[in-house]
A and B are shown apart, each in its own frame.
Chain A
Amino acid sequence: MTTTAPDTPRKARRPRAPGRGVPLALLAPALVGLAFLLVPLLALVVRAPWRDLPEQLTSPAVWDALRLSLVCATTATALSLVVGVPLAWLLARTDFPGRSLVRALVTLPLVLPPVVGGVALLLALGRNGIVGRLLDEWFGVTLPFTTAGVVLAETFVALPFLVISVEGTLRAADPRFEEAAATLGASRFTAFRRVTLPLIAPGVAAGAVLAWARALGEFGATITFAGNFPGRTQTMPLAVYLALQNDPAAAIALSLVLLAVSVAVLAGLRDRWTRAV
């Protein structure tokens, strides 16, 4: 700590070199940007119907939406982990023709408008979709406008976050640990499971949180692919949007809950992972 190093406090208080202040041309837009990000959040807190809040938050509609949101986001994150970590490994550790194209396609949902993602999901997994028709004919499984559909829509937008995050961590990890494992008799899978995965665990966790947050806030793909049925496919963001039209106070209350969850996630990330990553 600073107290043990006798010259640290002096250094910290060292006066700035003359004429080396922050230029106004940078400071002014920076402050505008900061205000732009903070003022809406502030407005949300200031205008919140604090008096009615307990009543709003205990209504069954809110709890249904919150529960559904948490369940779907968590399931989507779990799905993303199951397929995303192996996909990231494939991109980081193997060399196959068209790998950079595959990586570009993986990142496409990051920049694709989520509504377009929802339409694409409908065309693929909808009742008449190219895969959905077979699912319906062979197994009688219908995905659109179900809770499973919500999970798939959220996975579609969250998976790229996880893959990109884990791939970056894998690239930063020393591949020679896997070589050392190989010389000790470990197959590539064993080396991945027993050496690589524990080493990249902080990166995987950070990616999972990012994916979870993205899934929690997902709106466009969900409403397009899964619709807006209370209790079944109406997640928090959909509930907020709907409430805003006929009960603004409820919308604000719901937004506050999402804000609280986001802040909690950020705080958790900061404490647990930012140092490790």
Chain B
Amino acid sequence: MPKHPAAPPLGLDAHLVVERGSFRLDIALTAAPGDVVALLGPNGAGKTTALRALAGLAPLTGGRLRLDGTDLARTPPESRPVGVVFQDYLLFPHLTALDNVAFGPRCRGAGKSEARARAAAWLERMGLAGYAGAKPRRLSGGQAQRVALARALATEPRLLLLDEPLAALDARTRLEVRARLRRHLADFEAVAILVTHDPLDAMVLADRLVVVEHGRVVQEGAPADIARHPRTEYIAQLVGLNLYRGLADGHTVRLDAGPEVSTTEDLSGPAFVAFPPGAVTLYRDRPTGSSARNLWRCEVAGLESHGDQIRVELTGELPLAADLTAVAVAELGLHPGAPVWAAVKATQTHAYPA
């Protein structure tokens, strides 16, 4: 991406090390102004700790933190040019929406009337001009989220941090707020970092994903690239792929799990093989004359509905997930414990170097 050269003079250059008991967070993060980076990972991966370290709310035990060339590692939170949108917003309940937004400018030295004018402009921009006098408890989830965003942006931060910005919203509000947030993030000229465990939020809102597991970065890159080439079981599950690691030799990958997979790619050395559950065909009896070269003997471990399909979890020679229509499940008479043959065409698999 042309947006961030190797050593950005502006933007974020961080190597966050936070040790707490047996947990160790150790991740490198760089971003240029205008970048929106999503920290994606399961619960307990250390995403929120990383965010708190960036905001100065959790002390770094090592590493470095530079923003626009300034060392912030020892700077207290109130002196960092960092804005935070907290997961449950933490709007001050005793202040109106306007005073919540004016709080930051006020603390950073603006006079009372100037701070209020700036706050009013931000509320206007968020489409909340009519709610200036409302206390937080009278705001809907989506409105509160926008006030929280306005409050964070009103201090004109050089780094905007969003902790699970959509997690507190119900499914319908989420859609609208996500679209709105995307526009605001696109307008934001400094670095934005959001933490989420929702791959959809990450892929819609961010131009770059940093996947964190057990306090470490396991993969980073453009959302589309990560969706196509997952490198861990966690990401594969998020993007809905069967993923295996193995050793490639030409058009065959011998999987660590045992069996071989035929692929169209010609590789050698450690490799990943991925294929979507929809590419799997199931048979009650061993198919004869099937064009699929990849055939494994499996057993149904469980069934659950997955959109308008049925997700069949299989164990056996190769543990995998298959998506079938309800009709196919009924015709095959699938139930937990039923023996089946699973087939995948080589053209449906995707192999890439590990």
User: Which residues of chain A have a CB within 8 Å of any CB of chain B?
Assistant: 174, 176-177, 179-187, 190, 194-195, 198-199
**Contact in complex: A187, B84 (CB < 8 Å):** no
Least CB distance, A147 to chain B, in whole angstroms: 38
**Contact in complex: B90, A184 (CB < 8 Å):** no
Least CB distance, B311 to chain A, in whole angstroms: 38
Q: Other than A181-B107, A184-B78, A184-B155, give 11 A-B pairs with Cβ distance below 8 A.
A: A176-B90, A179-B77, A179-B90, A180-B84, A182-B77, A182-B78, A183-B56, A183-B82, A184-B152, A185-B155, A186-B103
Q: Tell me how many residue pairs across A and B have CB atoms closer than 8 Å.
A: 57
**Contact in complex: B92, A186 (CB < 8 Å):** no
Chain A's closest residue to B101 (CB) is: A184
**Contact in complex: A185, B107 (CB < 8 Å):** yes
**Contact in complex: A186, B107 (CB < 8 Å):** yes
As a 0/1 sequence over residues 155 to 171 of chain B, the CB contacts with chain A under 8 angstroms (1 = contact) are: 10000000000000000
Most buried by B among A176, A177, A182: A182
Chain A's closest residue to B99 (CB) is: A194
Most buried by B among A174, A177, A181, A185: A185
B104 contacts across to A, CB distance below 8 A: 184-185
**Contact in complex: B94, A190 (CB < 8 Å):** no
User: Which residues of chain B have a CB within 8 Å of any CB of chain A?
Assistant: 55-57, 76-80, 82-84, 86, 90, 92-94, 103-104, 107-108, 151-152, 155
Cα of A181 to Cα of B56 in the assembled complex, Å: 12
- Partner among B83, B92, B152 whose Cβ is within 8 Å of the Cβ of A195: B92
- Partner among A176, A183, A198 whose Cβ is within 8 Å of the Cβ of B77: A183
A179 contacts across to B, CB distance below 8 A: 57, 77, 90
Chain A's closest residue to B161 (CB) is: A183
Chain B's closest residue to A190 (CB) is: B107
A187 contacts across to B, CB distance below 8 A: 78, 107
B90 contacts across to A, CB distance below 8 A: 174, 176-177, 179-180
**Contact in complex: B151, A184 (CB < 8 Å):** yes
A183 contacts across to B, CB distance below 8 A: 55-57, 77-78, 80, 82-84, 152
Cα of A171 to Cα of B94 in the assembled complex, Å: 18
**Contact in complex: B103, A184 (CB < 8 Å):** yes
Chain A's closest residue to B82 (CB) is: A183
A177 contacts across to B, CB distance below 8 A: 90, 92
Cα of A198 to Cα of B269 in the assembled complex, Å: 64
Chain A's closest residue to B93 (CB) is: A199
Cα of A194 to Cα of B80 in the assembled complex, Å: 20
Least CB distance, A187 to chain B, in whole angstroms: 6
Chain B's closest residue to A199 (CB) is: B94
Chain A's closest residue to B92 (CB) is: A195
> 19 pairs across A/B with beta carbons < 8 Å?
A176-B90, A179-B77, A180-B86, A180-B90, A181-B103, A182-B76, A182-B77, A183-B55, A183-B77, A183-B82, A183-B84, A183-B152, A184-B103, A184-B104, A185-B108, A186-B78, A198-B94, A199-B92, A199-B94
Cα of A228 to Cα of B179 in the assembled complex, Å: 75
Cα of A190 to Cα of B82 in the assembled complex, Å: 18
Most buried by A among B55, B56, B107: B107
Cα of A182 to Cα of B75 in the assembled complex, Å: 12
B83 contacts across to A, CB distance below 8 A: 183-184
Cα of A179 to Cα of B108 in the assembled complex, Å: 16
Least CB distance, A135 to chain B, in whole angstroms: 39
**Contact in complex: B107, A184 (CB < 8 Å):** yes
Chain B's closest residue to A174 (CB) is: B90
A186 contacts across to B, CB distance below 8 A: 78, 103, 107
A195 contacts across to B, CB distance below 8 A: 92
Cα of A184 to Cα of B104 in the assembled complex, Å: 5
B57 contacts across to A, CB distance below 8 A: 179, 182-183
Given A181-B103, A186-B103, do A176 and B78 touch, yes or no (CB 8 Å)? no
A-B CB proximity, top 4 nearest: A185-B107, A184-B104, A180-B90, A182-B77
Cα of A198 to Cα of B76 in the assembled complex, Å: 24
Least CB distance, B181 to chain A, in whole angstroms: 18
Chain B's closest residue to A186 (CB) is: B107
Cα of A181 to Cα of B57 in the assembled complex, Å: 11
Least CB distance, B185 to chain A, in whole angstroms: 18
Least CB distance, B48 to chain A, in whole angstroms: 12
A180 contacts across to B, CB distance below 8 A: 84, 86, 90, 92
- Partner among A176, A185, A199 whose Cβ is within 8 Å of the Cβ of B86: A176
B80 contacts across to A, CB distance below 8 A: 183
**Contact in complex: B78, A185 (CB < 8 Å):** yes
